[in-house]
Amino acid sequence: MERVTLSQYLIQCDRQTSLAPEALRRVLETCAQACAGIAASIARGALGDVLGSAGSANVQGETQQKLDVIANDRMLAANAWGGALAAMASEEMDDPWPIPDGEPRGPYLLLFDPLDGSSNIDVNVSIGTIFSVLPAPDSAQVGVVNAEAFLQPGRRQVAAGYVVYGPSTVMVLTVGHGVASFTLDRESGTWWLVRDRIQVPAQTREFAINASNARHWEPPVKRYIDELLAGREGVRAQDFNMRWIASMVADVHRIMTRGGIFMYPRDRREPDKPGKLRLMYEANPMALLIEQAGGAATNGLQPILDIVPAKLHERVSVILGSREEVERVTRYHQGA
Ligand code: P6P
């Protein structure tokens, strides 16, 4: 079978749907190239200066790992000059990063979590990069870019994707015309289409949640998980299996591959926080991918993609994956 490259896939997409115009293709191919570089840095491991703490903290107050900074710098450097973006925003930066003076601006905003799953770097467990593309308001293409330009609901994303740095390096991507996955040929640097029109099974027997937080969960989550744990002796009358990698990208990729439900709900540890995960550059891109693949993604009460953000680094509860399970959990939150 004649394999198709990422570039060919995007051009074919645009010919069929006009959803991947040249400027958007440039952003996505540039992100893919930057992620191939990040993959090479990760693969160096202890042989390169990429492990351990960077000795600094990010906007979330979390200690930055060296790879957090390396990945962030690679994404910025690769996307700074292409002329397709008005600005960028990242988990690792307090404020939006405007395209440098002298460089042409373009019609898109790029948001990313450059290195998701940092706690897994030093133990050689799969980690990832997550990215989201929004339309840039006209004002952002000429004047000063501020956070307000980014505060758009996830439904307005024109593209979203992630790269999982695992035994192989795989990118999963949507421009709004279904979901496709690409595997990186590390020798040539080429991303090859390996799956198209990915569908998440509507049913599953596999759930992902950090069960050490159980005593802090709100009642609907507790009820749902207890039913899964009761297995065939309980109301679900079937056994379930649990996975928790603590890299959202890896857990979501498993769900994208064979189904499942991923949950990081708000809990009583920090009741004033709506959740741990970030809306703009973690939950929104993953929610678009999951919905495009026939799954569902809510915060327990509404589709994540409908949430109107108030802050760039806003957090959110995340329940996503196989549609029938996500709908069940959401019903429990609504008192059903
Ligand atoms: P915990 C990684 O830090 C992350 O943001 C997600 O990738 C992951 O799903 C979650 O946090 C893990 O959180 O509390 O289990 O360490």
- H/E/C letters for each residue in the chain? CCCCEHHHHHHHHHHHHCCCCHHHHHHHHHHHHHHHHHHHHHHHHHHCCCCCEEEEECCCCCEEEHHHHHHHHHHHHHHCCCCCEEEEEECCCCCCEECCCCCCCCCEEEEEEEEECHHHHHHCCCEEEEEEEEECCHHHHHCCCCHHHHCCCHHHCCEEEEEEECCCEEEEEECCCCCEEEEEECCCCEEEEEECCCCCCCCCCEEECCHHHHHHECHHHHHHHHHHHHHHHCCCCCCCEECCCCCHHHHHHHHHHHCCEEEECCECCCCCCCCCEEHHHHHHHHHHHHHHCCCEEECCCCEHHHCCCCCCCCEECEEEECHHHHHHHHHHHCCC
Region 168-184 average pLDDT: 98
CATH architecture of 206-333: 3-Layer(aba) Sandwich (3.40)
- Return the ligand 1 atom nearest residue 118 CA: 3
Give the pLDDT score at 1.
65
The band of 143, judged by pLDDT with boundaries at 50, 70 and 90, is confident
Lowest average pLDDT, out of 133-142, 192-201, 259-268, goes to 133-142
Give the pLDDT score at 145.
87
Lowest average pLDDT, out of 57-61, 149-153, 166-170, 171-175, goes to 57-61
Query: Does the pLDDT value for residue 121 go beyond 80?
Result: yes
> Does ligand 1 have an atom closer than 6 angstroms to the CB of 248?
yes
Region 109-118 average pLDDT: 97
The residue whose C-alpha atom lies closest to atom 2 belonging to ligand 1 is: 117
> Does ligand 1 have an atom closer than 6 angstroms to the CB of 51?
no
Query: Does the pLDDT value for residue 89 go beyond 70?
Result: yes
Query: Does the pLDDT value for residue 24 go beyond 90?
Result: yes
> Does ligand 1 have an atom closer than 6 angstroms to the CB of 11?
no
Span from the CA of 17 to the centroid of ligand 1 (angstroms) = 35
Query: Does the pLDDT value for residue 132 go beyond 70?
Result: yes
pLDDT in tens, 200-253: 999 999 999 999 999 999 999 999 999 999 999 999 999 999 999 999 999 999
**What pTM value is reported for the model?**
0.97
What percent of the chain has pLDDT above 90?
A: 89
pLDDT in tens, 38-70: 999 999 999 998 888 888 888 778 888 999 999
Give the pLDDT score at 58.
82
Residue-range domain boundaries for the chain: 6-195, 206-333
Span from the CA of 243 to the centroid of ligand 1 (angstroms) = 13
Give the pLDDT score at 90.
97
Choose one of 62, 163, 248 to mutate for the ligand 1 pocket test, by most ligand atoms within 8 angstroms of C-beta: 248
Lowest average pLDDT, out of 21-30, 99-108, 123-132, 255-264, goes to 99-108
- Return the ligand 1 atom nearest residue 119 CA: 3
In CATH terms, the fold of domain 6-195 is Fructose-1,6-Bisphosphatase; Chain A, domain 1 (3.30.540)
> Average pLDDT, whole number, for the chain?
96
> Does ligand 1 have an atom closer than 6 angstroms to the CB of 116?
yes
